[in-house]
Amino acid sequence: MGIYALKSGDLSALFASAGAELKSLKDCRTGQEYMWNANPEFWKRTSPILFPLVGNYKNKETRYNGRVYSLPQHGFARDMEFEMVSMKQDEIWFVLTSGPETIRKFPFLFKLEVGYRLKGRNLHVTWRVLNRGKETMYFSIGGHPAFACPLRDGEKQSDYYLRFDAEGEVTSHMIGENGLATDTVVRYPLEDGYLRIAADLFENDALVIENHQARTVSLCTPDKKPYVTVSFDAPLFGVWSVPKKQAPFVCIEPWYGRCDHENFGGTLQEREWGNVLEASGTFEAAYTITLE
């Protein structure tokens, strides 16, 4: 595993070739670290890439062309070694290419390119999925960046806020104990876009917010000042921390895909929120982390 560093203007960042994972994002002027430190007592990751699955298949299995394929939660990319293929002072690219190990789990030939670029107070994250095969590919992809919350010693997470560029409320389909979506809809009233991170906010796992209900989500200090903002055009996103542990981080996760519904009985092609990529086609998506 290699560790690579970028620096540009106000920010510095570290990345691991294992999973092409963002490991650190700091303000160079203050030395403040904004990413979760991957302490395994709570959660051993910092910002894994979810590919080719976001969430879970029902019973960990899906069917495609009469065969059954099994994947763990969030797919395999986060646990694989990427190749670093390009690096400048402010930009780096990693690549993961399909092979015998992936074909057994996901029956498509692909290349996954992951790029990071620092500019000003922003880190731009880009994903490109290339279908290298002769048949249509069905996949999901998502981000899972975890940010320090609370930001400073002596503060309580439950005094912090989320801020959405939404009015009135956001709604989420509750995730069941089996890691699958349910029909139970939970409503989260907003006050001028703010939602307090109550101690029980993640008691029932992630908030899964669908249908473009927001495109920017910020973590805010107890005085409601944003300190990190995630901007995206993804059709849905998750907000998560470890349930019932008061873990000192919060994830804001742009998603192009979601776990199966608990009543789902269809094929890979029929999954909700999945992406369809024709032979030789390219899918590209991006999101931005801004330190305020």
- pLDDT per residue over 94-131, tens digit each? 999 999 999 999 999 999 999 999 999 999 999 999 99
* Each residue's pLDDT tens digit, 132-154: 999 999 999 999 999 999 999 89
Output the DSSP codes for 88-99: -SSEEEEEEE--
85: exposed, middle or buried (Cβ count in 10 Å: 0-12, 13-18, 19+): exposed
**Confidence (pLDDT) at 190:** 98
Pick the closest to residue 145 from 245, 228, 211, 77 (CA basis): 228
**Confidence (pLDDT) at 244:** 86
**Confidence (pLDDT) at 18:** 98
* Each residue's pLDDT tens digit, 8-44: 989 999 999 999 999 999 999 999 999 999 999 999 9
| pLDDT surpassing 90 at residue 177 | no
Q: Give the pTM.
A: 0.97
Output the DSSP codes for 138-201: EE-EEE--EEESS-STT--GGG-EEEES-SSEEEEEEE-TTS-EEEEEEEEE-BTTEEE--TTT
Which phi and psi angles does 237 have, rounded to 5°? -155, 160
Range 146-167 average pLDDT:
96
**Confidence (pLDDT) at 1:** 81
Range 65-72 average pLDDT:
96
State the residue range of the domain holding 50.
3-291
CATH of residue 287: 2.70.98.10
**Confidence (pLDDT) at 148:** 98
* Each residue's pLDDT tens digit, 83-93: 999 999 999 99
How far apart (Å, rounded) are the C-alpha atoms in residues 47 and 250? Answer: 11
Which phi and psi angles does 235 have, rounded to 5°? -70, -20
The rounded mean pLDDT for the chain is 97
Burial 122-142 (b: 16+ CB within 10 A, else e): bbbbbbbbbbeeeeebbbbbb
* Each residue's pLDDT tens digit, 235-273: 999 999 999 888 999 999 999 999 999 999 999 999 999
Q: Domain count for the chain, please give it.
A: 1
**What tokens appear for 274 in the block?**
């999945």
The β-bridge partners of 76 are none
